[in-house]
Structure 1
């Protein structure tokens, strides 16, 4: 593990494995670098350098306030710069929203170039059933009051849209204590989602070759969002991944798609 400094000085923890063209993995809600280990191994097997990192306020990375979505876009740019100045980027779930934001931010501000963008099940709602606009503020208030567990539950219910029985099951599991430690990141994910859920013209105009991935038996909002994004984004194509189920990436299948698409470019 190494740390790289983002534009605002935040230390971002980076894990690198393998050799070849770097693929930067941008994880989704509650994910940290270790959660992408299997995907990293699959990418290394395809001849890539796999680059995992803890997003700010997670794992071994730091955090600096005030927050704005652009700060996390700068984190991605700092990671890309650290691994050679250009990279393929794969974002999953809220990480896909961040990856697209980073691509747009880089194009506008001469940031680190992204060679190919892979967006796995981006949770865009396109104005339908959006969470309340005050969700980030309510989450931050809970975090500030030391009620991180309640922030996690609120985010799962309103930000993600999980059914209450599933949320209660998660709350009763040993995993919940780990999730509570990541409560600050729910504020950031909710803020990024609010900024990208209905993608702006700037996001849709990203010219980087883009592959939108969607699995099977996934959440209806994700099944709907993928083709809607591709219809609106000239640089994008839709690829269905039958091996990926229930909003989870299948590492070998996804790594193989990345290898094939990059080889065609």
Structure 2
């Protein structure tokens, strides 16, 4: 990230911009930095002024305690000012949950798009999320970053054999470095249920997208987001999963985000 700005609480935010046109800010999900959004930024840069950034406590950005979702909304407000005072937002997975909170807060936004925010759609999933929060909080408090990452991977449905393999991979130290941010994403998810009261207060158009090859509960959650937003639209992408191809997603976003 080649540029820096400060959030309201003084936290340093690292970001980079590419392209020209209407302003679009991309928000990454859990266990990721802004670098994961670069391929999508490149795919949109021929039509938009695109900003990607490291969320607080990740990559080259700083952090300050105590954490609150409102601080991350303030981060987005600071970055929108960098882009001229108004922008559209796109967020993937739990980054989408942050985008929806930001839209409900009254930030100067034109449009909002999210991809597969992993909200729970049944009671058993809600219980699983509660247990995850308790175990994650304990692991991070005790400095067991590796165990925290394991908990997250298990929550996503990754097989135990693959988790054991991940621990032996060269990527593991980087994953452990991001472990504290898992608590931030967990807070943004707010217990995991679809926040219908939050969504009902959003006054800008909302596009909720899912891949038709993803698990059915993710598609159901995406439909629920669109249904709860006053100006919500639901779209599916053929053959896509939670690891969506930027080249497939970009045209859909461009169509929706173009003024």
- Confirm or deny that 1:255 pairs with 2:256: no
State how far apart, in whole Å, the 2-side matches of 1:39 and 1:177 are. Answer: 26
Aligned residue number for residue 101 of structure 1: 101
Shift of 1:196: 5.8
**Map of 1:221-260 to 2, 5 A cutoff?**
221-242=217-238, 245-260=240-255
Distance 1:171 1:36, change over 3 A: same
**Map of 1:14-25 to 2, 5 A cutoff?**
14-25=15-26
Distance 1:165 1:114, change over 3 A: farther
State how far apart, in whole Å, the 2-side matches of 1:134 and 1:262 are. Answer: 37
Aligned residue number for residue 27 of structure 1: 28
Aligned residue number for residue 209 of structure 1: 205
**Map of 1:136-151 to 2, 5 A cutoff?**
136-151=133-148
Shift of 1:137: 5.0
Does structure 1 retain, via aligned residues, the 8 Å contact 2:29–2:92?
A: yes
Secondary structure at the counterpart of residue 12 of structure 1: strand
**CA RMSD in angstroms, aligned pairs only:** 1.9
Does structure 2 retain, via aligned residues, the 8 Å contact 1:140–1:184?
A: no
- Confirm or deny that 1:118 pairs with 2:113: yes
Does structure 2 retain, via aligned residues, the 8 Å contact 1:133–1:194?
A: no
Structure 1 unaligned segments of length 5 or more: list them: none
Secondary structure at the counterpart of residue 141 of structure 1: helix
- State the number of aligned residues: 256
Distance 1:149 1:68, change over 3 A: same
**Map of 1:28-177 to 2, 5 A cutoff?**
28-45=29-46, 47-105=47-105, 107=106, 111=107, 113-128=108-123, 129-130=125-126, 131-133=128-130, 135-158=132-155, 160-177=156-173
Structure 2 unaligned segments of length 5 or more: list them: none
Distance 1:261 1:5, change over 3 A: same
State how far apart, in whole Å, the 1-side matches of 2:97 and 2:178 are. Answer: 19
State how far apart, in whole Å, the 2-side matches of 1:120 and 1:15 are. Answer: 22
Aligned residue number for residue 175 of structure 2: 179
Does structure 2 retain, via aligned residues, the 8 Å contact 1:142–1:150?
A: yes
Question: Residue 190 of structure 1 is aligned with which of 181, 186, 190?
Answer: 186
TM-score by length of 2: 0.91
State how far apart, in whole Å, the 1-side matches of 2:92 and 2:196 are. Answer: 19
Does structure 1 retain, via aligned residues, the 8 Å contact 2:129–2:192?
A: no
